[in-house]
Structure 1
Amino acid sequence: MPRYYGMYLDVKDRLGIVFGGDAHEGERKVNYLLECGANVKLFSPDNEISPGLRSKADASEIEWIDRKYQPGDLAGAWIVIVADTSSMDTNEAISKEATERNILLNVMDVTPLCTWIAPALIHRNDVTLAVSTAGSSPALARRLREEITSDSCQCMRWANVGPILTEARKTVRSQNIVCCPEKWQWFMTPEWLDKAEKSDSEKAKSELIEGIKSVACKSCAPFGSCQRIETPLPTH
């Protein structure tokens, strides 16, 4: 089993091709590509396409080709997903063409033919968390996703205040304040998280910014590399 290099892909305005338009995996893959801004072309016979995807085709949200794969279909694609894996011959033919064209390919649940695999994803505000088992156990990845998003797990609370942190960072950068991640995290305490969730967001942002200013990296040029040796952190 290969060790996969974790990354996120920018598919905006790029052509994503999906083979298979069923109401489960095909529809899920098409919808996620659309959410990420891709231009989507779907290959699916008329008797296999889901009502939801048919509606998207009718509304010109996707391009629908009423048939299964034929050689040459990958022309112009940036990323390809095979959701209908019922024919191993077809899977292998698509894999061969993707290799020849150097196109990113995912053949669902046929890991040896994939050049990338889809993790279980968790979205909250601008935070996206990916859980992967390198294709060995999709069920485990889904289970971990459920655990992480459950009320008993506190880690995703930070994603709830992501917009506050984003605005604070914009302010800090606009004032040419350089501060290393260690010092940011000094003020990102459970106590601050409680305040940010429960009180006025502007007040929480101001408190964070003032804290960052108090330990700003004095020796770094604006937006430079922090030397992490300038200002001692406050002691409790």
Structure 2
Amino acid sequence: MRYFPIFIDTQKLECLVVGAGEVAARKIELLLKTSATITVVAPWVCNTVQRFADEGRINLLNRPFEQTDIEHKDLIFVATDDSALNVSIHQMASAKKILVNVVDNTPLCQFITPTIIDRSPIVIAISSGGVAPVLLRYLRQKLESWIPQNISRLGSFSEKFRETVKLKLKSVVERRYFWEEVMDGPIAEQVLNGNHQQAEEMFVQTLHAHGNSQAQGEVYLVGAGPGDPDLLTFKALRLMQKADVVVYDRLVSKEILELVRRDAEKIYVGKAKSKHTLPQQEINELLAQEALKGNRVVRLKGGDPFIFGRGGEELATLVKHNIRFQVVPGITAATGAASYAGIPLTHRDHAQSVVFATGHLKDNTIDLDWPALVQKSQTVVFYMGLTGLPIICHNLIAHGMSKDTPIAMVESATLSTQRVVTGTLETIQNIAEEAQIKPPSLIIIGSVVTLRDSLNWYQLEQTTELSGVSS
């Protein structure tokens, strides 16, 4: 993030605008919505800027720019058609540590003005860093259609009662729960509809009820899917935004973690290959302890929490402590990896059933019902099988599966870094080693793998085939 977004208090801000054409007028119009003092200097003035001066809304210096004009200024906009002058003012302002913006010249901008949606006191600003103005206009159009025009009423209503709530509810968590209930419920509807008296009566009753009750914690067991944030469910995203504490593992992508509420406490409990950051029982107790403090806890797990996610064990601990919980299923790694690799797990001509198995090693062995996995017209998917790949291939062949059975390994499924290698039970080990496949990886075994050549759609243009390896 090159440009850090901030909102500046303009009550005592001294702004200078150099130039008084229509381009400068657009910047001045934005500044006039603030409390800043605005000085404009230019030898020539357009009608719009002259009107602002005649109305007494700006200080107009109708002359060429002078170096002393930047003295005691906090913010400078430069909007002239004199390139040499623009560069000179940029250098002078920078030397004095004054923030300067040369309009339509991003390299000479120490700050940029975002696209603004003004519903004061609610103000929304979005920016592309100056590289995609058309995209910003598109996003603004979408937001304008979604945000109610009278959302400002709700902002003013919140401002009116903010101190009252702080006096009544002492903890930050209590206040957040209360305001969320207000914003999500009938009080906000009454405010937006202009029924302020009724809204205030309901507000007082709700605040009284909150003040006489104790916040109860809750745990949300949320499946984060295989990695692509677009695959999150609406409910998962909503609960992630409500969380006070987020407990997450190694398989949760950084893109998904970015969608968690900014001020939530984030606790990493990930498990890497052959190494546990935190034992499972301690994770179970951690969830309970945080909920018992009154927090809303999101347990964010890669894939689906009930498929090799040990979600049932975590819930058993919550039941023991009489803690409320919700379970939000996610797209499990098998379906995510298969879909993005172009491999249907079932197909009328190839497989009428699919089996999920764990390839996790215990004492260098994998204890599975191997004969049950070696069935005709069946797809077998192994989770956590990268280290145990030689054992998996050996046992399947030993129990009757053909050594020519197609197999695929999908690394970092659904992400931009996804890689897929294909081969057979006999050849896949060498192919995977040559490609340096790393975890997290998923193994898909069965004749459905042969469909990848025709059904591969994800990053198809970047896909290459070499020595049986596709990436």
TM-score, structure 1 as length reference = 0.79
> Which shifted more, 200-209 or 35-44?
200-209
Aligned residues: 222
Instruction: State the secondary structure of the residue aligned to 1:202.
Output: helix
1:55 matches 2:59: no
Counterpart of 1:113?
108
| Deviation (angstroms), 1:62 | 2.2
Residue correspondence of structure 1 range 143-182 to structure 2 within 5 A: 143-150=138-145, 153-154=146-147, 158-173=151-166, 175-178=167-170, 179-182=174-177
Counterpart of 2:43?
45
Counterpart of 1:126?
121
Distance change in 2, residues 1:212/1:176 (3 Å): closer
Higher strand share: 2
Distance change in 2, residues 1:55/1:155 (3 Å): closer
Whether the 8 Å contact between 1:81 and 1:107 is mirrored in structure 2 is yes
Counterpart of 2:307?
none
Counterpart of 1:223?
none
| Deviation (angstroms), 1:5 | 1.0
Counterpart of 1:77?
73
Whether the 8 Å contact between 1:216 and 1:231 is mirrored in structure 2 is no
1:93 matches 2:82: no
Q: Deviations over 1:8-31 (max 9, x none)?
A: 1122233211011123x2112223
Q: Deviations over 1:142-196 (max 9, x none)?
A: 222222112xx146664442222222323323x4433332342133215443333
CA distance in 2, matches of 1:70, 1:231: 58
Counterpart of 2:18?
19
| Deviation (angstroms), 1:87 | 2.5
Identify unmatched segments of 5+ residues in structure 2.
215-289, 297-323, 326-471
CA distance in 2, matches of 1:28, 1:141: 17
Whichever of the two has the greater Rg, that structure is 2
Whether the 8 Å contact between 2:165 and 2:175 is mirrored in structure 1 is no
Q: Deviations over 1:25-47 (max 9, x none)?
A: 2112223323312222112223x
Whether the 8 Å contact between 1:148 and 1:156 is mirrored in structure 2 is no
Root-mean-square deviation (Å): 3.3
Q: Deviations over 1:24-76 (max 9, x none)?
A: x2112223323312222112223xx1223213334443222223434333112
Instruction: State the secondary structure of the residue aligned to 2:70.
Output: coil
Q: Identical aligned pairs, as a percentage?
A: 23
Identify unmatched segments of 5+ residues in structure 1.
220-226
Report the AA paired with residue 145 of structure 1.
R
Q: Deviations over 1:99-124 (max 9, x none)?
A: 11110111112111111100011111
CA distance in 1, matches of 2:72, 2:295: 53
TM-score, structure 2 as length reference = 0.42
